[in-house]
Structure 1
């Protein structure tokens, strides 16, 4: 007799489960980021509102960390409980995510304000490219450190050092992250922040896939064997 298959064993069932998992994670990403996103949508795009913009972006760090955790959990759990995975990741990682994400967005806000006021400041011409490089490097580091704190319980300073180390130690991962940041920026500039928000779970899945070699190396070199 042919062996009976459980629901979800076939390709159609696995596909439906994946779509369900992604939809639930996307809804929870929006839910946990909603206060900042609503305030951000109401703010006028002026330099004077830069501190408020930074404040609005703070909830995105813990939300993204929980989203990464839940997306990775999809391949490691037998149940179909994306909400439970997301909230577990949020509970475990929100404090670590805030400790690395908040300083990063503050510095990025300072860089953005400086770039917007270069003419008024009367600084040398080389200062603008230098600020762009600093901002790009900080964005790349921010992605690395969020990925690391989402899956490992390192001290904040150790996670920060590892994130900086892997910018050079895994150049292909860094180039992939840069491409994803450019993609995100292009979607936001050419469309709206709302569209990118609706596709955030897909972007995070690409970030997680790109960071797989980094996570494997961290696990093999910097964590104790069970």
Structure 2
């Protein structure tokens, strides 16, 4: 007979609870950007405003990754809200150091795409930057490195862990499809699911960092 909080049903319930609470907190901490973003017209001229609206999403997603990584499978030991807020407090500054320049860069590339010319190379650079940022987000959320070291590790693992890179690329395409087919609001509602998928996809990256770079 399973001890309360240790069986498969309890672990599933704990996961669902953690996802729900974390998802709500992502929406709350990102609301300052989500609300105006949904109201913006889908016009290339609004890309700088889109970048500004997306700033709160970085720390929110980082806190979600932190909370999901440290979640307990025991129903008697659940505190996802406290863990999320701790991750937000610990990682917001480090994440923003890389998140804000990334958003600026993507906005510039988006404006270039809208202007026409060099479409494929510019789109490829934009996707590569997004993949790099996904690695950087995972690293900055779970480990303590200087910003420049996080940036270097994120670039290194693009090549070092190709399965992770391909998996993250698939998630990026899926996220883009959600926005195109529905809206940014729908993506925000399921952001915690994407965070969980990113955390799982990045497992080889996390394993190597913990083996080689974390003492």
TM-score interval, normalised by the smaller of the two chains: over 0.9
Q: 1:94 is matched with which residue?
A: 92
Instruction: Give the Cα separation in 1 of the matches to 2:205 and 2:55.
Output: 25
Residue 18 of structure 1, CA deviation: 1.4
Out of 79, 100, 105, the position equivalent to 2:103 is 105
Query: Which residue is equivalent to 1:65?
Result: 62
Alignment of 1:57-206 (within 5 A): 57-75=54-72, 79-118=77-116, 123=117, 127-206=118-197
- The structure with the larger Rg is 1
For structure 2, which runs of at least 5 residues remain unmatched after alignment? none
2:52 is the alignment partner of 1:55: yes
**Per-residue CA shift, 1:118-163, capped at 9, x if unaligned?**
2xxxx5xxx2111011101000000000000001111000100000
Question: Which aligned segments of 4 or more residues in structure 1 are displaced greater than 6 angstroms?
Answer: none
Aligned mates of 1:76, 1:154 — CA distance in 2: 28
Q: Which has the higher mean CA deviation after the structures are superposed, 13-22 or 43-52?
A: 43-52
Which structure is richer in relative contact order (CA contacts within 8 A, separation 6 or more)?
2
| Structure 1: stretches of 5+ with no match in the other structure | none
TM normalised by structure 1 equals 0.90
**Whole-Å separation in 1 of the counterparts to 2:207 and 2:73:** 15
**Aligned residue pairs, count:** 214
Q: Pick closer, same or farther for the CA change 1:4–1:41 going to 2, 3 Å.
A: closer
TM-score (norm 2): 0.95
CA RMSD of aligned residues (A): 1.6
- Residue 26 of structure 1 corresponds to which residue in structure 2? 23
Q: In 1, are the aligned partners of 2:38 and 2:183 still within 8 Å (CA)?
A: no
